Amino acid sequence: MSGSNKRRDKNATTVYSPEKNATGDIVYPGIDAIRAWLESNAISEVECLVPDMTGNARGKFIPAHQFLSRADLKLPESIMIQTVTGEYTDEHWGFVEPTDTDMLLVPDPDSLRKVPWAREPTAQIIADCYKASGEPHPLASRNVLKHILRLYEEAGLRAQVAPEVEFFLVQKNTDPDYELMPPKGRSGRREVARMSFSIDAVAEFEDFVEDMYDFADAQALDVDTLIHENGAAQLEINFNHGDPLDMADQVFVFKRTVRETAQRHNMYATFMAKPMQKEPGSALHIHQSILSLETGKNIFNGPDDEPTAELMHYIAGLQRYTPDLISFYAPNVNSYRRLAPDISAPINLSWGYDNRTTAFRVPDSTPENRRVENRFPGADANPYLAIAASLASGLLGLEHKLQPTAPHQGTANDDNIEVARSLEEAVRRLNGNEDLSRVIGDLFLQAYAAVKLDEFEEFNRVISSWEREHLLLQV
């Protein structure tokens, strides 16, 4: 069931109309295939999941026999506007019904997977959220991405993306007042030096890596390459190119998988953008190419195997709209510690050919595989929103035929900072752009900004150890 790219019909559905069987019970699309899969795998329990605004999994545990007979899978819509700490915004009732009404959950059969670490045979399935009227719920991040994919289809285009996900392994830390440390490997020692691309450094965590791959394989996650990144005990997993919705689902599931695997090996895995002061941050780089629905060919490659005007328009869209959408790529207060000079993260809007210091990179590849890599998103980003923001920017660039700057030569790390340096500054850029309101949704943009501003204000009330050390007796 998992790993399917056959999503166009589903993406084209704008209103959910429940169907009833002969006995009058509501049945979900694909329920017969879901039933057959659950029975063939002897599944006893189902996790029905919904990614929230932060990208965390919300949902219900349901016995398999009840899941198949339930016609009223619901969750309160207010879970979509909770902050990362579980609080609600002051504008809460401006975004959801004052009655805190329910959303209808419609399980997506293409997202059905096993939960390989569960003690009992358990399945997980991602559900789409709908209003009682049958319309896709505007506050659901998965629906935001699906809407943008519909816009691509209306334009005769189909997007493909390949995420690269970085994360740190860290020693278990149960007291947040203590700094994080790399875990000990099988040698009994910690990494103390940069071990980029080191085979032996990865081998220190061989048991973790093998279990992670086993779990990924059991869930049909399309993972490709594993490397050791720049930081101590920092790893990166690359995914193969695929349908954007399917890849967002896979990253969503993968992050749960890595955390679970690490716990089994008595350590934590973190996708925090900048978890350690002296180490680089973790990114969610997104490679993207656009195909013509009519020809099936990559629109970034011309008949002469040269870059096309469409590639330039797409890059220009990324340059134009990224400052307004940076909070989708850097969604937490910690995210902006990663976006700083000289720590392997973009700080401006430059682009270049095979230039890893620029924000937008056109990797060296065969002409038919020509693509753009967006290097802004952090590993802490909601994958649905990060992919949606990147594709929306490129689509608007194509629509308006925008022109990019000249490709950057040499390092871009010495150039001026051109993006927000705090969450507050970033989210204040979200409102007032008609193009973004049209492709993402005005209500979602307002709700997202409210949630993130509340997170910023809550963080801003915390007095740090740096302030106590340097200001307590000296100002």
CA distance 6 to 103: 25
Sequence ranges of the domains in the chain: 8-137, 152-469
With a pLDDT cut of 90, the percent of the chain lying above it is 81
pLDDT tens-digit readout, 336-346: 999 988 777 99
Question: Which three-class secondary structure state does DSSP give residue 102?
Answer: strand
Query: Do residues 392 and 401 make contact, with C-beta atoms less than 8 angstroms apart?
Result: no
Residue-level pLDDT at 128? 95
Determine the average pLDDT of the residues in 269-292: 96
Provide the 10 A C-beta neighbour count for residue 9.
Answer: 8
In terms of pLDDT, which residue wins out, 35 or 23?
Answer: 35
Confidence of residue 401 (pLDDT cuts 50, 70, 90): very high
The amino acid present at 93, given as its one-letter code, is: W
Q: Is 213 exposed, middle or buried (0-12, 13-18, 19+ CB in 10 A)?
A: middle
Using pLDDT thresholds of 50, 70 and 90, give the confidence band for residue 17. Answer: low
Amino acid in position 265: H
CATH superfamily of the 8-137 domain: Glutamine synthetase, N-terminal domain (3.10.20.70)
Beta bridge partners of 49: 59, 126
Of 251, 270, 269, 238, nearest to 111 by C-alpha is 251
Which tens digit of pLDDT belongs to each residue from 418-447? 999 999 999 999 988 899 999 999 999 999
> Is the pLDDT assigned to residue 10 strictly greater than 50?
no
The correct answer on CATH 3.30.590.10 for the domain covering 152-469 is yes
Residue 24's pLDDT is what?
55
pTM of the entire predicted model: 0.94
Half-sphere exposure of 387 (CA within 13 A, CB side): 35
Mean pLDDT of the region 384-390: 98
For residue 2, the model assigns a pLDDT of 45
CA pair distance 225, 234, nearest whole angstrom: 14
Name the more confident of 12 and 259. 259
Q: Give residue-wise pLDDT tens across range 350-386.
A: 999 999 999 999 999 999 999 999 999 999 999 999 9
Distance of CA 419 to the CA centre of its chain: 20
Nearest to 130 by CA among 107, 149, 100: 107
Of the candidates 25, 270, 257, 237, the residue with the CA atom closest to the CA atom of residue 124: 257
Mean pLDDT of the chain: 92
* Predicted local distance difference test score (pLDDT) of residue 71: 67
Phi then psi dihedrals of residue 99, to 5 deg: -80, 0
C-alpha distances in Å from residue 170, one per residue of 174, 273, 385: 12, 14, 27
According to the model, what pLDDT value does residue 100 have?
Answer: 83
Per residue in 75-104, pLDDT (tens digit) is 999 999 999 998 888 777 789 888 889 999
Please check the confidence at residue 25 and state whether its pLDDT lies above 70: no
> Do 8-137 and 152-469 fold alike per CATH?
no
3-state secondary structure of 264: helix
d(CA 228, CA 239): 15
CB count in 10 Å sphere of residue 98: 8
Structure confidence by residue, pLDDT tens digits, 112-147: 999 999 999 999 999 999 998 889 999 999 999 999
